[in-house]
């Protein structure tokens, strides 16, 4: 076997062959650069994933807020709707729908008993932040959804039984809605069922999820023109002792009958924790514009709207 001749210099000294490779410094630099690139990619991925989760949570919160405010607005606009009739379910000359004139009532911390048959029997919780709203109106068969048995629906889909017959010969229906916050959800108890009033065996239903609290400010009509707002009062002011002496001299029912508008605020919370543990002192502004610390990592945001009570007071002496 012939061997390849070994390279040699001109003087015959053999040449030593060296293998090419990386030095230790070059290897360390390459590893360091690789770690930096991979770290940057991981940061971009984590940041992008967090931004995606944040955007998804914000989108869901916007939908929940829109649903809640839509329901509340719809109910408020029906408050007190009660056309004048020569006769009604009581002996008075005005059909008060069996509620003694009550068409609207609210509590800042929820009702003690949501199932009280009369609005006048509702009382407010001493503490809490849920908020609760009671609305009474007349329903009919042409302005809303009806059941398969051709009865108008209450807020949870139950059919409302006719309470009586008007002077014109047509049935009329007393609709009650009790909106309140339970387990971080806007919940409603309606007046449908076997009797034309709230029944104790009804099961309330959730209308909008992830609603942490509900707050109201009510616009009061001025003495000169009941349809012009002279100022806004909380439910506590209307139920208790408002600062305005003339308004304070009225009974609670008379005060609520002068409500012509409402500012509604709901605080919506994300379904899952979104804020990173490393975020410094996360917080949000509540319905009173106070900065509130977030301890559970869930996003929160206050959503607001103003509602004109188109029908409140119709059929009553202002």
pLDDT value for 137: 86
Give me the mean pLDDT over the 208-212 stretch.
95
Mean of the per-residue pLDDT values of the chain: 80
Q: 137 is written with which tokens?
A: 């109106």
Distances (CA, A) of 282 to 12, 32, 139, 296, 300: 80, 35, 46, 10, 10
Q: Given pLDDT bands bounded at 50, 70 and 90, which one contains residue 87?
A: very low
The neighbouring-strand residues paired with 186 are: 181, 208
3-class state of residue 274 by DSSP: coil
Q: 150 is written with which tokens?
A: 């051709």
Residue 288 has φ and ψ, to the nearest 5°, of: -95, 10
DSSP result, 107-136: ETT-BS-TT-SSGGG--B-SS-S--EEEEE
What ranges do the domains of the chain cover?
50-308
**246 with 223: CB under 8 angstroms?**
yes
pTM: 0.78
Residue 215: CB partners within 8 Å, gap ≥ 6?
108, 131, 264, 265, 266, 287, 288
pLDDT digits (tens, 9 = 90+) for 243-272: 778 888 888 888 898 898 999 999 999 998
Q: What percent of the chain has pLDDT over 90?
A: 31
Q: What percent of the chain has pLDDT over 70?
A: 76
The region of weakest confidence among 2-6, 63-67, 116-120, 145-149 is 2-6
3-class state of residue 317 by DSSP: coil
pLDDT digits (tens, 9 = 90+) for 25-84: 777 887 888 888 888 888 776 666 677 788 888 899 999 999 999 999 999 998 888 765
Between residues 123 and 162, the one the model is more confident about: 123
Q: 59 is written with which tokens?
A: 């989108």
**207 with 67: CB under 8 angstroms?**
yes
pLDDT value for 6: 57
pLDDT value for 315: 37
**283 with 294: CB under 8 angstroms?**
yes
pLDDT digits (tens, 9 = 90+) for 125-180: 988 768 999 998 888 777 777 887 888 888 888 888 777 655 455 667 888 899 99
- CA 144/CA 109 separation, integer angstroms: 30
Handedness of CA 16, 19, 21, 25 (dihedral sign): negative
């Amino acid at each position: 076997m012939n061997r390849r001749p070994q390279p040699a210099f001109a003087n015959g000294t053999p040449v030593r062959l060296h293998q090419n490779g990386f030095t230790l410094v070059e290897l360390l630099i390459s590893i360091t650069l690789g770690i930096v690139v991979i770290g940057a990619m991981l940061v971009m991925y984590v940041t992008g994933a967090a931004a995606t989760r944040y955007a998804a949570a914000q989108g869901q919160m916007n939908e929940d807020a829109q649903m809640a405010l839509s329901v509340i607005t719809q109910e408020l606009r029906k408050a007190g709707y009660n056309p004048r009739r020569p006769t009604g379910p009581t002996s008075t000359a005005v059909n008060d729908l069996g509620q003694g004139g009550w068409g609207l009532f609210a509590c800042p911390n929820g009702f003690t008993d949501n199932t009280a048959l009369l609005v006048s029997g509702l009382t407010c919780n001493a503490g809490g932040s849920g908020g609760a709203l009671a609305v009474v109106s007349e329903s009919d068969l042409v302005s809303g959804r009806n059941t398969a048995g051709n009865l108008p629906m209450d807020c949870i889909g139950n059919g409302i039984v006719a309470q009586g017959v008007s002077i014109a010969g047509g049935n009329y229906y007393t609709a009650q809605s009790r909106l309140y916050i339970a387990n971080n959800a806007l919940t409603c108890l309606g007046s449908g069922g076997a009797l034309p009033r709230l029944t104790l065996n009804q099961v309330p239903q959730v209308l909008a999820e992830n609603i942490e609290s509900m707050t109201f400010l009510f616009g009061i009509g001025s003495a000169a023109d009941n349809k012009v707002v002279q100022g806004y009062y909380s439910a506590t002011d209307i139920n208790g002792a408002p600062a305005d002496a003339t308004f304070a001299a009225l009974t609670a029912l008379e005060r609520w009958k002068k409500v012509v508008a409402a500012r509604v605020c709901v605080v919506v919370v994300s379904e899952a924790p979104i804020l990173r543990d490393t975020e410094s002192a996360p917080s949000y502004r509540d319905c009173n514009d106070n900065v509130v610390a977030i301890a559970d990592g869930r996003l929160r945001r206050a959503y607001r709207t103003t509602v004109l009570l188109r029908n409140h007071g119709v059929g009553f002496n202002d």
